[in-house]
C-alpha cells in the first residue's frame, strides 16, 4: 500500500496478513471520499459495499472478509480469520445488526444468497 494519499480499494486489502492500521486508514479515506461525493449507498464491481446513515452518522464499508463501521467517536473493524471459511465467519456475525448487503460483501457473495441462507436456518 502506498504511503501517499492514494485511496486503495478496500476490497484489495489482504485479510490473511492484515495490517489493521492500514485497513482502517484506507477504509476511512474511502468513507470520507464517498461521503464527500454525497453517496449514501454504493456497491462496487469488486463486490465491496458502502452505506452511510445520516441519522446515526454511521458509515459501513465491507469487502470480502472485512467490514469497517465508523461512527462519530468509534471505528470497528471485523475481519475473517485466516483459515476460516466465509460461512464460518458469517455464522458469528450474522446477528451483529449488519444488513444482508453488508453480510453479502463480507462473505464474498450477494445479498440474495445471504437472504436464502438465513431463511434456510429458520
- Provide the residue range defining the domain that includes 90: 10-121
Q: Which residue has the cell 485497513?
A: 23
DSSP 49-68: EEEEETTTTEEEEEETTEEE
Estimate to the nearest angstrom the gap between the alpha carbon of 103 and the chain centroid.
8
pLDDT tier at 1, thresholds 50, 70, 90: very low
Give, in degrees to the nearest 5, the angle at Cα 53 between 114 and 46. Answer: 45
Asked if 34 and 45 count as a contact pair (C-beta separation under 8 A), the reply is: no
Question: Does residue 2 sit within a domain?
Answer: no
For 13-56, write each residue's pLDDT tens digit: 555 566 778 888 889 999 999 999 999 999 998 889 999 999 99
Domain count, the chain: 1
What is the rounded CA–CA span in Å between residue 64 and residue 97? Answer: 18
Residue 13 C-alpha cell reads as: 486489502
Is there a domain that residue 98 lies in? yes
Longest pairwise C-alpha distance within the chain: 48
Asked whether the predicted pLDDT for residue 5 surpasses 60, the reply is no
Secondary element (H or E) of residue 83: none
pTM above 0.95, yes or no: no
Write the pLDDT tens digit of every residue in 85-96. 988 998 889 888
Residue 1 lies in a domain: no
Amino acid at each position: 500500500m502506498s504511503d501517499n494519499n492514494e485511496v486503495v480499494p478496500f476490497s484489495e486489502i489482504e485479510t490473511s496478513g492484515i495490517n489493521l492500521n492500514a485497513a482502517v486508514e484506507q477504509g476511512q479515506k474511502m468513507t470520507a471520499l464517498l461521503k464527500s461525493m454525497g453517496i449514501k449507498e454504493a456497491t462496487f464491481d469488486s463486490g465491496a459495499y458502502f452505506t452511510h446513515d445520516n441519522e446515526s452518522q454511521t458509515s459501513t464499508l465491507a469487502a470480502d472478509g472485512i467490514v469497517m463501521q465508523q461512527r462519530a467517536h468509534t471505528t470497528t473493524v471485523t475481519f475473517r480469520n485466516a483459515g476460516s471459511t466465509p460461512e464460518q465467519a458469517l455464522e458469528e456475525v450474522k446477528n451483529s445488526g449488519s444488513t444482508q448487503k453488508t453480510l453479502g460483501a463480507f462473505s464474498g457473495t450477494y445479498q440474495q444468497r445471504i437472504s436464502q441462507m438465513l431463511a434456510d436456518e429458520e
